[in-house]
Amino acid sequence: MLKNFFFFIFLFPTFILGSALHAARLKTLSLDFRRELKEALVKNNSTLKGEEKNKTETTIGTLHYDAEAKQVVVEVSEPLVQIMIVKDKALEIYYPVEKQAFRFISDGKIPLPFIEAILQTTQPEYGLTLLGYSLDKHEIKGDVLYTYWVPPEKEKERLGTVIMGMRNDLLISMEVRNPDGNLAAKSVYEQHIKLGTNHIPMAVTASVYAPQSALLQHERIIYSNPRMNEEPLNPILNFTIPESVKVREIKW
């Protein structure tokens, strides 16, 4: 659940956009992003020097989703040029400058739930009901409505409560608790823009916590320039690794 939540946060606007544009028959969707990441685990490691401890990693790129092919392509432009392609049970990573490539092949689905999340957008409550969650209770604090969602009975040993915060019908926060009730992940959604009938957060701040609620990772992602059903089709969606490049294949 924690892993799923991470990409859920990262690509949240993508599937919200998918939801917003569902009526318009979404074929492709592209979204620029800027992600600033601080990893607390590495930061806290005593073997690293001072400058390495305080490093914030910034990644800039574009996400592309092809609804028909059920494929996601992440095009990174900074700090290096990198193309990640996720389709079915395979993840391919290509470095055009270094001419190197990886292919991860998984027995099961590669854990990139945003693909499923995009498809889930036709479902109410951001796909929580589809995952088997049910509304437990709600409370109002100030101008924010908090709804508490509990996992299905058979999953209660593995999953915890999800708490969604809404202000003026806009999702502004989401908390995921582990089965012990400790905080597992939290995200804050800001700078909503209106697209069609929906409001999309273009800034997401997310924190992921260890089982005892120690901070593992903190990131801020700014999304911009949403583009739907681009014509002509962005060639990156038909990208394949050149045959001349030796691909390191890793079974996972």
Among 73, 117, 131, 216, contact with another protein (rule: CB under 8 A): 216
- Per-residue contact string for residues 11-50; x = within reach of another protein by CB under 8 A: ------------------------x---x-xx--x-xx--
List residues bridging with 28 in a β-sheet: 66
Part in contact with another protein (CB under 8 A); list of ranges 84-92, 129-137, 165-173, 197-205:
84-92
Instruction: Count CA atoms closer than 13 A to 61's CA, side-chain side.
Output: 21
**Minimum distance from CB of 90 to another protein (Å)?**
11
**Binding of residue 78 to another protein (CB under 8 A):** yes
**Minimum distance from CB of 244 to another protein (Å)?**
16
Q: Which is nearer to another protein, 41 or 233 (CB)?
A: 41
Place of tokens 């049910």: 134
Region 94-113 residues binding another protein, contact defined as CB under 8 A: 95, 98, 100, 102, 106, 108, 110-112
Task: State phi, psi for 43 to the nearest 5 degrees.
Answer: -60, -40
Q: Which is nearer to another protein, 102 or 146 (CB)?
A: 102
**Minimum distance from CB of 65 to another protein (Å)?**
15
**Binding of residue 82 to another protein (CB under 8 A):** yes
Q: Which is nearer to another protein, 42 or 119 (CB)?
A: 42
Region 154-213 residues binding another protein, contact defined as CB under 8 A: 210
**Minimum distance from CB of 82 to another protein (Å)?**
7
**CB contact set of 208 (below 8 Å; sequence gap of 6+):** 2, 5, 6, 184, 185, 215, 216, 217, 218
What the block records as the tokens of 118 is 């995009």
Q: Which of 102, 107, 109 is nearest to 87 (CA)?
A: 109
Beta strands in the chain (DSSP E): 28-39, 57-66, 71-78, 82-87, 90-95, 100-105, 134-141, 144-150, 162-167, 170-177, 183-195, 198-209, 215-228, 247-251
**Binding of residue 252 to another protein (CB under 8 A):** yes
- Separation CA 167–CA 247 (nearest Å): 48
The gap between the terminal CA atoms of the chain, to the nearest Å, is 19
Interface with another protein by CB under 8 A: which residues? 3, 6-7, 10, 35, 39, 41-42, 45, 47-48, 52, 57-59, 61, 74, 76, 78-80, 82, 84, 86, 91, 93, 95, 98, 100, 102, 106, 108, 110-112, 210, 216, 248, 250-252
